Amino acid sequence: MHTPLVLNDTILRMNIFDKVIDRKNTSSEKWDKYKGRDIIPMWVADSDFETAPEIVEALQQRVVQGVFGYSEQPTTGVQDAIQSHLKSQYGWQIDKSWIVPLPSLVSGLSLSCLMTDTEGDGVVVPQTIYPPFKYVVDNNKRQKIEVPMRLDTSSGVERWVLDLDAFEKAITPQTKLLLFCNPHNPAGTVYTKEELEKIHNICKRYDLLICSDEIHCDLVLDDNKKHIPLAMLNDDAANRSITLMAASKTFNVAGLGFGFAIIPSDTLRDKFKVLVRQRMPDINILAQTATEAAFKHGENWRLEQIEYLRENRDYLMQEINAIEGMKMYPLEATFLAWIDVSGLDLDDPEIFFEEAGVGISAGKYFGDNDFIRLNFACRRSLLEEAVGRIKKAIATL
Ligand SMILES: Cc1ncc(COP(=O)(O)O)c(C=O)c1O
């Protein structure tokens, strides 16, 4: 009797990701960008999926209470949830006092720049990278040191990784901080333990603070890859790290505005908390409710989403790589495909794809004009429609 029930449940769950949800006129940044135009939005990194029903239910219960005064920051519930999530997913045993709630992770990147004491201090940023990594350095009047990603083929699979020789060469006595991204956006790399150890060793040698943005850590698509929080490597790594995480990408709750920093060092944490108090608003209580529910009750939903995203990725990779002039690189994590379009010889890839009816993120924003980034966290039928539009447009070149 149990088997058919489980099967039915699985089928029902899969349908959640296939569901057609009209996001037009819902104040969706992703969809509003192309209001009134027939362009499928595949740019900003939020998914089109309805979040886990357990999260919706928790929010409904919280809203029904009807009182929305200040709450403890962070709530006991969210602290417990984060602590057990990190233990069960990564074997990372953290102390709850290490958690510093944030209204967004970009603000965590920005405050990390201010942890270096002096204007003009050097901050290492991978190139290519999610654009705010660069502008937080500029906005805080630090000196941006861009270190290239290089294509590593040693494992037999092409992977974009930070070029460690270039990293070490770029460091000067003024260099104080590495803004690191793992899994990497836009290349989807999940760094191995060995790679992380090498990165940490350089940071230790030159006494760099590390801000490790791990917002995509719960979106590892490859079964044989595992996310390792950099701060878990050893005591020194822990004591020079600010790790940034959130449920926002994985559970599509980014609009609620919540992330957190994990800072094991008392000294670093006290300093960071002063910056948070001076510059950040309190955390939205509903965002904390959602994060608590995601980490406590969302695991089955997350795994099913991973399965769905993996199939979307494999489908997209096969289709894109069959098009002459386009090359999608393998991605180990995230729902963001990094695609080389230099072979198409386009004047402006963003405009070309918009005119084709597909709204991508232009690679120039991440530091490489030869690429586009395509968000495939949408129902399969929409992805198929987008692929069809791309093929049709390219056939006219
Ligand atoms: C690596 C990375 N960090 C941070 C963010 C944004 O986080 P938040 O919305 O919490 O500022 C994103 C969003 O795409 C991201 O990819």
Domain spans, the chain: 2-52+299-395, 67-297
259 lines ligand 1 (CB under 6 A): yes
Kind plus residue range of the DSSP H or E element containing 196: helix 193-205
Q: What is the pLDDT of residue 372?
A: 98
> Is the peptide bond prior to 334 cis by the omega test (within 30 degrees of 0)?
no
231 CA from centroid of ligand 1 (Å): 19
Tokens of residue 250, six digits: 């994985």
How many CB atoms sit inside 10 A of residue 297's CB? 16
Pairing verdict, β 122-127 and 336-340? unpaired
Q: How far is CA 36 from CA 24, 33, 45, in A?
A: 10, 9, 21
Ligand 1 atom at minimal distance to the Cα of residue 254 = 9
Tokens of residue 316, six digits: 């997209």
333 lines ligand 1 (CB under 6 A): no
Q: Among positive and negative, which fits the CA dihedral 194, 330, 46, 133?
A: positive
Q: What is the pLDDT of residue 143?
A: 98
As a whole number of angstroms, the distance between CA 219 and CA 136 comes to: 25
Pairing verdict, β 143-152 and 122-127? parallel
Whose C-alpha lies nearest to ligand 1, atom 13?
Answer: 45
**Angle CA(215)–CA(218)–CA(224) in degrees, nearest 5?**
125
Residues 6+ apart with CB under 8 A from 153: 159
> Low-confidence residues of the chain, pLDDT below 70?
1-14
DSSP helix/strand/coil, 245: strand
254 lines ligand 1 (CB under 6 A): yes
As a whole number of angstroms, the distance between CA 252 and CA 59 comes to: 14
Question: What's phi and psi for 126, nearest 5 deg?
Answer: -65, 155
Domain range 2-52+299-395, its CATH number among 3.40.30.10, 3.40.50.280, 3.90.1150.10, 2.40.160.40: 3.90.1150.10
Half-sphere exposure for 139 (CA within 13 Å, toward CB): 14
**Angle CA(113)–CA(119)–CA(124) in degrees, nearest 5?**
45
130 lines ligand 1 (CB under 6 A): yes
Q: What is the pLDDT of residue 349?
A: 97
363 CA from centroid of ligand 1 (Å): 17
103 lines ligand 1 (CB under 6 A): no
Q: Which CATH class is domain 67-297?
A: alpha beta
Ligand 1 atom at minimal distance to the Cα of residue 106 = 11
45 lines ligand 1 (CB under 6 A): yes
As a whole number of angstroms, the distance between CA 380 and CA 337 comes to: 15
Q: What is the pLDDT of residue 9?
A: 52
Ligand 1 atom at minimal distance to the Cα of residue 46 = 14
What strands lie across the sheet with 241-245, from one edge to the other? 99-102, 259-262, 241-245, 209-213, 175-181, 122-127, 143-152, 159-162
Kind plus residue range of the DSSP H or E element containing 276: helix 266-279
Q: What is the pLDDT of residue 5?
A: 42
Select from 154, 153, 150, 214 the least CA-distant residue to 180.
Answer: 214
Tokens of residue 57, six digits: 């239910």
Looking at the DSSP assignment, which residues form a beta bridge with residue 152? 159
33 CA from centroid of ligand 1 (Å): 19
265 lines ligand 1 (CB under 6 A): no
Residues 6+ apart with CB under 8 A from 299: none
Q: What is the pLDDT of residue 92?
A: 98
Tokens of residue 237, six digits: 């790594």
Tokens of residue 58, six digits: 């928790």
As a whole number of angstroms, the distance between CA 135 and CA 201 comes to: 27
